[in-house]
Structure 1
Amino acid sequence: MSDDRRGGGSPEWGRVGPEDPTEDPATYPAMKVPSTEIEPSEQPTVAVPTGDGPPGDETPTVRRKVPNTRIGGLWATLILSAIVLIFLLVFILQNTDPVAINFLWLTGTLPTGVALLFAAIAGMLLVAVPGTWRILQLRREAQKH
């Protein structure tokens, strides 16, 4: 065997791949064909067409992540709030028996559901007012620095 690589056969020793390493995907990563498999993600995805062909065209689609936004969070909160309000309305409509309410010097009668709704609102205010006050304090303190 000859050491001459210009000949027709392959050498018994040495390099078997192409002379230029940038032509070999095994030694030059930029030559590798990107994987067509899409990794499963925890984020919702949207299909984006890659071609401008007719609607029946079989062009592949690229999936990209859709970021979480404040509007999306607000929408979920609104739906949850609507469900809670429906349950609250059903509760009030089912508990219409009058109940005597005494608070300090005030006396009156209200349906049971309405009385419990007022009690819940008062409890939320007892938590929200001091919490709002503390948040405002912290914001003023953060703006000073």
Structure 2
Amino acid sequence: MTAPQHSQGTPQPINGHDSRADLAAAPPRPRATPHSRVGEVWVAAVLFALVLLLLLIFLLQNGQRAEVSFFGAHGQLPMGVALLLAAVFGILLVALPGTARIVQLRMLSRRRAAAGPRTAPPSSPADEPVGQRTRR
């Protein structure tokens, strides 16, 4: 057995290639192109089209008739349409309270902006003088 001929300080070639030479010879990476709104809209449109395609497949595969009753109204709908309508009504039930809360926060923000900026916001409601406490 023989001792290695290279000292510890110099890197040894790996598979016949010097790693320092490979790094020095590599071209610099080109800068990534910045994102644009048009690109984001394009991605959103493609995703939207895929969702619509999945919905169409769902509706076509669930075409058997289902009896539907709603507030005294009776009728027959394809099963896929009935399930899709139920999902839309569920989304609306979630969106309405969310919309009400957003409107409430915007009105509160406008009131605060109209009152003018404070010099230094208090760290907690207990730090405010009693006469200036507002309902939060």
Amino acid at match of 2:38: I
How far apart, CA to CA, are the structure 2 residues paired with 1:70 and 1:128?
Answer: 26
1:120 matched residue in structure 2: 87
Where do 5+ consecutive residues of structure 1 fail to align? 1-35, 40-62
1:132 matched residue in structure 2: 99
Alignment of 1:68 onto 2:35: yes
> How much does 1:75 deviate?
2.2
How far apart, CA to CA, are the structure 1 residues paired with 2:37 and 2:100?
Answer: 24
Q: 1:134 is paired with a residue of what secondary structure?
A: helix
1:83 matched residue in structure 2: 50
* Gap change, CA 1:106 and 1:69, over 3 Å in 2: same
2:72 matched residue in structure 1: 105
> How much does 1:88 deviate?
0.5
How far apart, CA to CA, are the structure 2 residues paired with 1:67 and 1:140?
Answer: 36
Whose helix proportion is higher, 1 or 2?
A: 2
* Gap change, CA 1:71 and 1:137, over 3 Å in 2: farther
> Could you list the per-position Cα deviations for residues 57-109 of structure 1 after superposition, in whole angstroms to 9, with x for gaps in the alignment?
xxxxxx33422333333322221111011111111111111010112211111
Alignment of 1:143 onto 2:110: yes
TM-score computed with the length of structure 2 as normaliser = 0.55
Larger Rg: 1
CA RMSD in angstroms, aligned pairs only: 2.0
* Identity in percent: 45
> Could you list the per-position Cα deviations for residues 20-75 of structure 1 after superposition, in whole angstroms to 9, with x for gaps in the alignment?
xxxxxxxxxxxxxxxx9535xxxxxxxxxxxxxxxxxxxxxxx3342233333332
1:38 matched residue in structure 2: 28
TM-score computed with the length of structure 1 as normaliser = 0.52
Whose strand proportion is higher, 1 or 2?
A: 1
* Gap change, CA 1:78 and 1:98, over 3 Å in 2: same
Amino acid at match of 1:106: A
How far apart, CA to CA, are the structure 2 residues paired with 1:138 and 1:69?
Answer: 30
Where do 5+ consecutive residues of structure 2 fail to align? 1-25, 114-136
* Gap change, CA 1:127 and 1:75, over 3 Å in 2: farther
How far apart, CA to CA, are the structure 1 residues paired with 2:95 and 2:47?
Answer: 19
Q: 1:109 is paired with a residue of what secondary structure?
A: strand
How far apart, CA to CA, are the structure 2 residues paired with 1:76 and 1:133?
Answer: 30
